[in-house]
Structure 1
Amino acid sequence: MKTAVCYYSRHHGNTRKVLEAMAQEGDVDLIDVTARQAVRLEGYDCVGFASGIYYGKFQTSVLQFARQYLPQGKPVFFVCTYGGSKGNGTTAIAEIAQKKDCPVLGEFGCKGYDTFGPFKLVGGIAKGHPDQQDLEEARKFYRTLQEQDIPR
């Protein structure tokens, strides 16, 4: 299964670490949405969107990227990292997928070391994450995606 994962990962690189673990499981191209490149997602079997959760939401540049480049009807999945909790963090990206009639194959989330905003004052939260167990769960999630019957 040829997969593109469009992502934003800054601060501590938590999301990128998770995606690199997933990429070990198959044919995965990681696309940094801040790289400002021409992107053609039509040739992929499915597309993932990944971000840290910032104040309860996916990073804005990932949402803008999805609005611009996600092909109609393309199967999608979501990946996120978060210091506290995921909450409704994938709601906005799921709404974009729904508007484009894209089936959602699933979503994966795990804790990620967070020193954003007020967490910096206490030395951060979710220290040590994503850890090896988180990364193995990410690989397992991607393997389950590969087992799904995705129209090509």
Structure 2
Amino acid sequence: MKSLIIYFSSYKNNTEKIAKVFADKINADLINLKNLKEIETDSYDLIGFGSGVYKERLAQQLFNSIEKLNLKDKKVFVFSTSGIGIKFYNNKLIKLLVSKGATNKGSFACKGSLVAREFSNNKIFDIVGRLSEGHPNDKDLRKAEEFIEKVIL
């Protein structure tokens, strides 16, 4: 199965770390949208889409790129990193992919480190920042490997 992982990672490269784990595990090609505008997906059987969470949502660059792609009958999966590491943020992207005719094979999320004061002086962000420190860690990377193994079954 020929695989591609398209991601946007710009803050601390937390999402890129996860994308590379997936790519290494399934021998996938990698595209960081930060460096590329045009994407060709016709020759791929499985396509992963990932982003960090920026201001409570996945990167707009990812949504803009997907709008241009023909994903009919493609197998896809979604992944993200955020200060709290929950899959909730992936839902909007999954809905878009399915609306374009893709088959969702799974959703993965884990914590990614952040410096809270860069986003807000609100104390709740300070707590989230402390809890996310050092992520994605070895445990997160192992969970990413386990996830991608299930996706390719």
TM value normalised by structure 2: 0.86
Q: Give the % identical residues.
A: 25
Deviations 1:2-58 (A, max 9, x none): 211110011111000111112221221111112234321011111110001223211
User: Which one-letter code corresponds to 2:145 in the other structure?
Assistant: R
Q: 1:119 to 1:103 in 2, by over 3 A?
A: farther
More helix by share: 2
Q: Partner amino acid for 2:93?
A: I
Query: What stretches of structure 1 of length at least 5 have no aligned partner?
Result: 148-152
Counterpart mapping for 1:2-151 below 5 A: 2-86=2-86, 88-115=88-115, 116-118=118-120, 122=126, 124-125=129-130, 126-147=132-153
Q: Aligned equivalents of 2:88 and 2:152: distance in 1?
A: 26
- Supply the distance in 2 between the matched residues of 1:87 and 1:26 (Cα, whole angstroms): 22
Contact 1:22 1:142 in 2 (8 A): yes
In 2, the alpha carbon distance for the partners of 1:25 and 1:53 equals 24
Write the distance in 2 (CA, Å) between the matches of 1:57 and 1:119. 20
What is the CA RMSD across the aligned residues, in angstroms? 2.1
Q: Is the 8 A contact 1:57 1:88 kept in 2?
A: no
Structure 2: gaps (5+ residues): none
C-alpha deviation, 1:75, in angstroms:
1.1
Aligned length: 147
